Amino acid sequence: MSDALQKTITLLLLIALGLLLKSKFKNKDQTNGIKEIILSVALPSTIFISLMKIDIDSSMFVIPLVTLIFNFLMFFSAPLAFALFGIEKNSPTGRTLMMLIPSLAPGLSCFPFIAEFLGEKSLAIAALADVGNKFFVLISLYILAMNMFLKNSDDKDTKMGGKLKSLFASMFQEPINLLIFIAIILLSLGINYNSLPPLIVDIFDKTSAMMTPLVLLFIGLAVQLKEGKKRIVACILFFRAGITMLISAGMIYVLNITDQNMVLLSIVIPLSAASFWPLAHISAFNLREDAKGMAKEKRTFDLELAVLLLAFSLPFSTILILAILSSGSFFAHTSTLITAGLVLICLGAVPNALSKVFVKVSKASS
């Protein structure tokens, strides 16, 4: 058995263990507690170690900008889904998808597998890439949500400046971002991981060791199969993954990326699950509309759809990322990537096309 296959089976078994333990975690707060340990302790420690162990040069600071450009390319590509699935852009469904499709959450769905398959240097680059994504999901998507809300409800009382200020503050209070900032300062002063006191190194090593098993257990615990708009959610996720692969192929070609690890990073980071932050923005504006007693069909966003898409997005992205990383160099070619992207888009579009055909046939027969 190859090392990659053995590693993949081990990771999948840990996810299966999480599924088996679901009955023991009936309280949502218990699952959220594990998530908080991952995001506040294990993941920040892993990223800090990765950053402190590599030589960062000024050219690496273009990485967040490239990710930010990718976010906007995904944002402008999202309306293509509406044409395929018959979704109105200015409907609650359309506005919700405009928020969620371009967002990324690499922390839970991507970083553990990058660490396992591609190593610490690749994880450090991925952490820098997420800085650009954080600006997009926290700032750009909040402004977008605010604009959608104001257009839909004619609410002129909202003060955007204060909200943006609090968002900037919360972004820099997150442990991951704080440790990235500290690591960059230490490296600029010539201090690397081996220069730190042994006690500090030991603490970071031990907390970092928790990350992969905890993340995989959490994925198994968090998988939800709620009733609702499951077909449209599945179709959107296939479409999102397909468009992501096509954009990644384009960026790899334009930027002339040839290193295999960098190519794989360019593929798997954009395939990360949808971010929680758009849901947070959506929930905030939904509460305002609750207070006004606004009818569900007239609201700015579809909160139920947002929750369902997030629930399916994590396991969906995990499977895709695992498949790509465990396949070695198979996906490290733009031709393969373009083909895979087109196949995924077709898989997303076919169910909706078939349903339209069945409707026409049933009408004709009646």
pLDDT, one tens digit per residue, over 341-363 is: 999 999 888 877 676 666 566 65
For residue 225, what is the DSSP state?
-
* Under 8 Å between Cβ of 284 and 300: no
Establish if 362 belongs to a structural domain: no
In a domain, 93, yes or no: yes
Instruction: Give the count of domains, the chain.
Output: 1
Residue 105 structural domain: 3-357
Q: Please check whether residue 53 lies inside any domain of the structure.
A: yes
Cα–Cα distance, 304 to 229 (Å, whole number):
9
Q: What is the pLDDT of residue 287?
A: 77
Residue 366, domain member (yes or no): no
pLDDT at 203: 93
Is residue 42 one of the residues assigned to a domain?
Answer: yes
Q: Range with the lowest mean pLDDT among 85-99, 192-206, 210-224?
A: 210-224
Determine the Cα–Cα distance for residues 247 and 266; give it in Å rounded to an integer: 10
Q: Is residue 60 part of a domain?
A: yes
pLDDT reported for residue 299: 84
pLDDT at 20 (0 to 100): 86
pTM of the complete model beyond 0.85: no
- Of the chain, the percentage scoring pLDDT greater than 90 comes to 21
User: Of the given ranges (36-40, 72-76, 155-159), which has the lowest mean pLDDT?
Assistant: 155-159
Please write the tens of the pLDDT for every residue from 93-119. Answer: 899 999 999 999 887 788 888 988 888
Q: Which residue has the higher pLDDT, 296 or 320?
A: 320
Measure Cα distances from 51 to 117, 146, 317, 323 in Å. Answer: 17, 35, 25, 26
- The single residue listed with the structure tokens 């820099």 is 172
169 within a domain of the structure (yes/no):
yes
CATH number of residue 65's parent domain: 1.20.1530
Q: Which amino acid is at 80?
A: L
Is residue 278 within 8 Å of residue 103, measured between CB atoms?
yes
| Rounded-to-integer distance, Cα 203 and Cα 199, Å | 6
Distance CA 288, CA 308 (A): 21
When mean pLDDT is compared over 143-157, 212-226, 271-285, the highest value belongs to 271-285
Residue 3 pLDDT class (50, 70, 90 cuts):
low
How many residues are given for the chain? Answer: 366
Which pLDDT value is given to residue 211?
79
Q: What is the DSSP letter of 118?
A: T
- With respect to residue 94, please indicate whether it lies within any of the assigned structural domains: yes
Closest CA to 127 of 28, 20, 242, 50: 50
